[in-house]
Amino acid sequence: MTTFDRYIIRRLLLGFVTLVALLIVFFIALHYVEYMDDFFDRGATMREVFLIYYPSYIPEIVKLTSPLALFLSSIFITSRLAQELQLAALTTSGVSLYRLLVPYALVGIVVTSGMWWFNGWVVPKANQTRIDYEYRYFKDERSRLKTTDIHLQNSPSSILAAEYFDRRTNTAHLVSLQSFDGPNRIRQRIDAREMRWDDSTHVWRLIEATRRRFSPDGDERREFVMELDTVLNVLPRDLRRRERDVEFLTVSEASSFVDALKRSGVGDIGRPMVEYYSKFAYPFANLILILISLPLAAVRRQGGQAVQLGIGLGIAFVYLALQKLSEPFGYAGDISPLMATLLPHVVFTIVCCVLLYRVRT
């Protein structure tokens, strides 16, 4: 590694950290101005807002702004080298622009790897506090519980259905538990007005339950009981579902969560699937944007660094906007959640390859 490589790496990382810090301050100030009335109209204190809510929001801000900060840092440093003719001197002496790409690629790989770990394990834990706070004070209608019309597979031969689940009391209402002897033969069905979770015994208690048993020849026997304890593979957390739950789950927890959603048979899982795939895809924006920055900023332009930064901001805005525009199509199921997540990254990977090819030619 040459002195020039170490210089570029040091400057890129310093610029990245500085810009992330500035963006955190800017974002918090803007957010506070917008939501100040919501905080205080609903009883939040200054101490809670600035010592609990915003500190827990910082990891999410770092996650969202890291690609932009790294890209702008690279644009600024590279355009300055180009304006001072240092890049021209290096290329004239026989150093390929592809060789100059090495320190940029190294920084991109390191930041992408670090942000993948940070986004997958640090951000979700902080988001638990932030999202719970938002439920208390913002009452976002889009984030209300998805706890109606529940269908879950309790075992390969039994299915649990419930009209509604109250996550505050861990109580399911209008419950039906069906057991099968084969694909088309029901063995038993239990219908109950309520199903409550008992924390002390870790069993479900069915209230006002009617149990019907079916014999192979079609005879039916009914039995009514006021209370009936039963052990199920379904836990209260399996009956709780919010659209934003994936945001405060680590990668391993989110994997189990989406698997449970798929097994449950519910149809509206576009948003959690997009959020899950984004945990893997979003960090690659750091690498893609820093690779775009070198061929973009290495050319001297009339107007100097201001023009270069303006172009850089425009490209970063289009990239991040394309991600936000594609996500709703994945939420609604118009395209697959995986495609909605990968589409912006694929498009800008192609843009990156074109720019790098044009530098060579």
Domain residue ranges in the chain: 3-139+272-360, 148-238
Percentage of residues in the chain having pLDDT higher than 90? 48
266-296: buried (b, 16+ CB within 10 Å) or exposed (e) per residue? eeebbbbbbbbbbbebbbbbbbbbbbbbbbb
**What 3-state DSSP class applies to 102?**
helix
Residue 208 has pLDDT above 80, yes or no: yes
Cα dihedral 243, 244, 250, 254 in deg (nearest 10):
10
Q: What average pLDDT does the chain have? A: 87
Give pTM, 2 decimals.
0.78
Output the pLDDT for position 2: 86
Out of 198-202, 262-266, 325-329, which region has the weakest mean confidence (pLDDT)?
Answer: 262-266
Out of 7-16, 61-70, 82-91, 210-219, which region has the weakest mean confidence (pLDDT)?
Answer: 82-91
Output the pLDDT for position 144: 46
Q: What is the DSSP letter of 248?
A: G
- Calpha distance 99→93 (Å, rounded): 12
| Structure token digits, residue 48 | 């809670």
Percentage of residues in the chain having pLDDT higher than 70? 92
Burial class (CB in 10 A: 0-12, 13-18, 19+), 344: buried
Output the pLDDT for position 39: 81
Closest CA to 206 of 224, 219, 218, 194: 194
Output the pLDDT for position 141: 42
**pLDDT band with cut points at 50, 70 and 90 for residue 244:** low
Q: Are strands 203-214 and 148-155 parallel, antiparallel or unpaired?
A: unpaired
pLDDT digits (tens, 9 = 90+) for 116-137: 999 999 999 898 888 878 877 7
pLDDT digits (tens, 9 = 90+) for 319-358: 988 998 999 999 888 999 999 999 999 999 999 999 888 8
Residue 57 has pLDDT above 70, yes or no: yes
Output the pLDDT for position 303: 66
- Calpha distance 255→262 (Å, rounded): 11
- Specify whether the CB–CB gap between 247 and 127 falls below 8 A: yes
Average pLDDT over residues 44-57: 91
211 CA to centre of own chain: 42
Output the pLDDT for position 143: 43
- Residue 168 CB neighbours (<10 A): 6
Average pLDDT over residues 180-185: 80
**What 3-state DSSP class applies to 304?**
coil
pLDDT digits (tens, 9 = 90+) for 89-108: 887 787 788 888 999 999 99
Q: Highest mean pLDDT: which of 92-106, 158-172, 274-288?
A: 274-288
pLDDT digits (tens, 9 = 90+) for 141-158: 444 444 567 778 788 888
**What 3-state DSSP class applies to 214?**
strand
Residue 264 has pLDDT above 80, yes or no: no
Residue 361 has pLDDT above 60, yes or no: no
Output the pLDDT for position 166: 84
Closest CA to 306 of 144, 145, 155, 80: 80
Q: Where are the alpha helices (DSSP H) in the chain?
A: 3-41, 46-48, 54-83, 86-92, 97-117, 123-137, 236-239, 251-264, 270-281, 284-297, 305-332, 337-360
Q: In this predicted model, which residue has the larger pLDDT, 88 or 208?
A: 208
pLDDT digits (tens, 9 = 90+) for 66-91: 999 999 999 999 988 888 878 878 87
